[in-house]
Amino acid sequence: MADPRGFLKHTHRETPQRRPVDLRLRDWNEVYEEFSHETLQNQAARCMDCGIPFCHNGCPLGNLIPEWNDLVFRDRWRDSIERLHATNNFPEFTGRLCPAPCEASCVLGINQDPVTIKQVEVEIIDNAFAEGWVVPLPPDRLTGKKVAVVGSGPAGLAAAQQLTRAGHDVTVFERADRIGGLLRYGIPEFKMEKRHIDRRLEQMAAEGTKFRTGVNVGVDVTVEQLRGDHDAVVLAGGATDWRDLPIPGRELTGVYQAMEFLPWANRVQMGDPVVGEDGEPPITAKDKKVVIIGGGDTGADCLGTSHRQGAASVHQFEIMPRPPETRAESTPWPTYPLMYRVSSAHEEGGERVFSVNTEEFVGRDGQVTALKVHEVEMREGKFVKVEDSDFELEADLVLLAMGFVGPEKTGLLENLSVELTDRGNVKRNDDFQTSVPGVFVAGDMGRGQSLIVWAIAEGRAAAAGADKYLMGQSALPAPIRPTAAPQR
């Protein structure tokens, strides 16, 4: 245990400061300032090493949180990364991007602020990279089996790394021009700089994982070819089928999906030539009155991106009522709390509008100019219009950030004839095998729209399932089973 009296000595939770808003809006770098090792060790010392560490259960990866808190406190940084890597292939992603359900279930959180678990996690891995401790771990024997992984988001990458290390010949197929899935083209640079993906890919390539970009499996390569050339397949194509808003005026120019907008900003940051007028990306918020429909994280990413591009104004609409300031009674400890959250993007400006519904996009000469909106309230589980609450809001860029309905069915899934669940996701058994023998699934494609931590956990578990299928048994860890894990 780090320090038996740590939580009594360090009663306050400390997290890194965010850089001043006016400064960070001038660049696209991550928003957080450096955090000293000494402060971090004091924070790690707050961990009580509970007899039953609820944080283990809160983390889908089953990260060994009290163990690495203790190691950080004792300055045993090298041991701490070994312990962290034992359960998480990519702590540099989760340490930056995870909503930290572990912290929501930290026992200290019952009557104090929880331990800063996520911060300890990211500092361990950043320190390990800085010290040169993250080195390729190629397999010591090869099995001669070939595995195709379709999709290069966190699920595909986790599965590929596990299977390569188990000695299989693994190729990751990605239809985009770069590897990374939503980590690369969805999540903005200010939340995670893309250099973190690149240095991890260097390690994976050195271990033997092969990457093929610009290959749309089911179109450029048939599923018959894929299956014929490989002994097993892991599907990790994500849930990219976005939810739309089919109301009058949807066809107007200026109304786009979040995932039509966000990738441009990431491309500019990666130095790609922009092809729009005036040297601007084809879809930009520069000088625009922006309305984002959807109050979640993707909406917040559109918000931060719009501000950095120089939007004239930004409103973020949410149909749900404003959540309570503290944990709602419906989500008691140790569940993930429903509560009002202010992300770094919210801190930077814009107006959040709750309990509103958009009924029409208004336009002139084919271009959106305004939204017709009304307030709603929840009655008997249904949204009902509040009488005489109609208003119009001017807009020349509308971004739909309303989530995703599931994986795309045409092409890959249709041609493979895999069974789907009632919700339209790819059905899998406890080994993450689909209805087609030798074809496995991981991440959002089987789970529906979710989180990076779940994608990594499922990638690891699907790798264990595929390894068992290929070799008859597997020593790879399988952190979760679909039937045991709650959907989120």
Ligand X SMILES: Cc1cc2nc3c(=O)[nH]c(=O)nc-3n(C[C@H](O)[C@H](O)[C@H](O)COP(=O)(O)OP(=O)(O)OC[C@H]3O[C@@H](n4cnc5c(N)ncnc54)[C@H](O)[C@@H]3O)c2cc1C
Task: Work out what residue 237 binds among ligand SF4, ligand X, none; the CB cut-off runs from 5 to 8 Å by kind.
Answer: ligand X
Three-state helix/strand/coil letters over 330-382: CCCCCCCCCCCCCCHHHHCCCEEECCEEEEEEEEECCEEEEEEEEEEEEECCE
Residue 96: what are its φ and ψ, rounded to 5°?
-100, -35
Nearer of residues 167 and 263 to ligand X, judged by Cβ = 263
CB of 423 to ligand SF4, least distance (A): 24
Q: Provide the minimum distance between the beta carbon of 127 and ligand X in the complex, in angstroms, as a whole number.
A: 22
Q: 211: how many CB neighbours lie within 10 A of its CB?
A: 19
Site for ligand X in 139-178 (CB under 6 A): 150-156, 173-176
187 binds, among ligand X, ligand SF4, none (CB under 5 to 8 A by kind): ligand X
Question: 469 — phi, psi (to 5°)?
Answer: -60, -40
Here the contacts of 108-115 (C-beta below 8 Å, separation 24 or greater) are 108/7, 108/46, 108/47, 108/48, 109/333, 109/334, 110/333, 112/7, 112/11, 112/13, 113/12, 113/13, 114/13, 115/13, 115/43, 115/44, 115/46, 115/47, 115/55, 115/65, 115/69
Nearer to ligand SF4, 94 or 306 (CB): 94
The residue type found at 370 is A
Q: How far apart are CA 154 and CA 404, in angstroms?
A: 17
* Interaction residues for ligand X, span 391-430 (CB under 6 A): 411-412
Q: Specify the residue, 102 or 148, whose C-beta has the smaller distance to ligand SF4.
A: 102
In angstroms, the CA 144 to CA 400 distance is 46
Minimum CB–partner distance for residue 485 and ligand SF4 (Å): 13
Assess 262 for contact with ligand X (CB under 6 A). Answer: yes
- For residues 176 and 162, give the distance between their C-alpha atoms in angstroms, rounded to a whole number: 22
Which of ligand X, ligand SF4, none sits in contact with 178, Cβ below 5 to 8 A by type? none
Contact between 182 and ligand X per CB under 6 A: yes
Q: Which is nearer to ligand X, 218 or 334 (CB)?
A: 218
Cis check: omega of the bond before 60, within 30 degrees of 0: no
Residues 426-455 that bind ligand X (CB under 6 A): 443-445, 450-453, 455
Q: Which option in ligand SF4, ligand X, none does residue 176 bind, with CB closer than 5 to 8 A by kind?
A: ligand X
Residue 363 binds to ligand X (criterion: CB under 6 A): no
DSSP readout, 393-404? EE-SEEEE---E
Applying CB under 6 A, the span of 139-147, 235-243, 339-347, 473-481 interacting with ligand X comes to: 235-243
Q: Could you list the beta-strand ranges (E) of 207-276.
A: 210-213, 232-235, 241-242, 255-257
Residue 412 interacts with which of ligand SF4, ligand X, none, CB < 5 to 8 Å by class? ligand X
Q: What's the Cα-to-Cα distance from 395 to each of 288, 292, 314, 315, 363, rounded to whole Å?
A: 7, 10, 9, 9, 9
Query: Binding of ligand X at residue 356 (CB under 6 A)?
Result: no
Q: Which partner, ligand X, ligand SF4, none, binds residue 301 by CB below 5 to 8 Å per kind?
A: ligand X
Contact residues for ligand SF4, defined by CB under 6 A: 58-59, 61, 63, 65, 94, 98, 100-102, 117-118, 121, 453
* Least spacing, CB of residue 411 vs ligand X, in Å: 6
Binding pattern to ligand X, positions 298-337, x when CB under 6 A? Answer: x--x------------------------------------
**Cβ proximity to ligand SF4, 296 vs 424, nearer residue:** 296
Task: Tell me how many degrees the CA angle 77-83-86 measures, rounded to the nearest 5.
Answer: 140
Q: Is 104 helix (H, G, I), strand (E, B) or coil?
A: helix
For ligand SF4, the closer CB: 226 or 461 = 461
- Contact positions vs ligand X (CB under 6 A): 97-98, 150-156, 173-176, 181-182, 186-187, 191, 216-218, 236-238, 240, 262, 297-298, 301, 411-412, 443-445, 450-453, 455
